[in-house]
Amino acid sequence: MATALITGASSGIGLELAIEFAKHGDDLILVARSEAKLKELADAIKAKYKVAVHILVKDLNDDKHIDEVHTYTLMQNIQVDYLVNNAGFGDFGAFADEDWNRINSMIDVNIKALTRLSWLYVREMVQRKKGRIMNVASTAAFQPGPYMAVYYATKSYVLLLSEAMANELKDHGITVTALCPGATESSFADTANARDTKLFQRKIPSSAEVAAYGYKAMMKGKTVAIHGATNYMLAQSIRFFPRKMVAAVIAKIHSKD
């Protein structure tokens, strides 16, 4: 029996990934800020799938909380076989109008927390010569994103870090997967204040669909996993069109007209 540690597990893709791992008999360590949501999810999973579920109420915007996650697993003598860095958020608006504290938090959660947790756990995986990491990136990682500039940039970092790690770790029995969903039905759009943009005014996949795809990709050891044929084509578009044109198209998609 393996153990999966999942951040941002209280809703959306993170919640559905928790269910996906539980379906396959894996114990869970669920990390998020909402204690009530984590308890509700943990109770439901334990009742249905009979696996062990640990919940950690942590704010990954706080360096101390990041380290406390790792300390907990050490103190409890829990081996983390699968690390899923899902926690993250976006924000909609012109870069010049954004609140700096919001930008800073986005960088801390989307980049710093993911990087530090990966660094902490990958060293243990190297010693065991076994383990899998999933970093939840986005199709945003493949192009500039006017009106969500920082979010797109953070996801580009996640993608490139994941690809580099995958190459370094391939001879150590460890896989690293960058899951790259497009727009997904979750709380992300509301948190980012982007629900009424053209990006979300169309039929989009559920978090459960994306999670099921991501789980399979991770277990296959796929390095870059782009959910959906349309998303795959859009992600590749920057290779065939001028970068300025791609930025203009994304700006149009982000419009609220």
Token pair, residue 107, equals: 């960088």
The pLDDT value given to residue 192 = 45
For residue 24, the enclosing domain spans 3-253
Token pair, residue 95, equals: 């870069």
The pLDDT tens digits for 112-130 are: 999 999 999 999 999 999 9
The pLDDT value given to residue 84 = 98
Low-confidence ranges of the chain (pLDDT < 50): 189-190, 192, 194-195, 197-201
For the chain, the C-alpha Rg in angstroms (whole number) is 18
The pLDDT value given to residue 214 = 97
Q: How many domains does the chain have?
A: 1
155 is catalytic: yes
Question: Which residue from 88, 76, 33, 85 is spatially nearest to 52, judged by alpha carbons?
Answer: 76
Annotated catalytic residue, options 49, 82, 147, 151: 151
Q: Residue 56 is part of a domain; what is its CATH number?
A: 3.40.50.720
The pLDDT value given to residue 3 = 98
Annotated catalytic residue, options 155, 213, 215, 222: 155
Pairing of strands 82-85, 53-57: unpaired
The pLDDT value given to residue 205 = 81
The pLDDT value given to residue 15 = 97
Token pair, residue 219, equals: 């277990």
Neighbours of 161 (CB within 10 A): 19
The pLDDT tens digits for 147-198 are: 999 999 999 999 999 999 999 999 999 999 999 998 766 555 445 454 454 4
* Beta-ladder partners of 134: 84, 177
Instruction: Record the pTM.
Output: 0.88
The pLDDT value given to residue 86 = 98
The pLDDT value given to residue 193 = 55
The pLDDT value given to residue 153 = 97
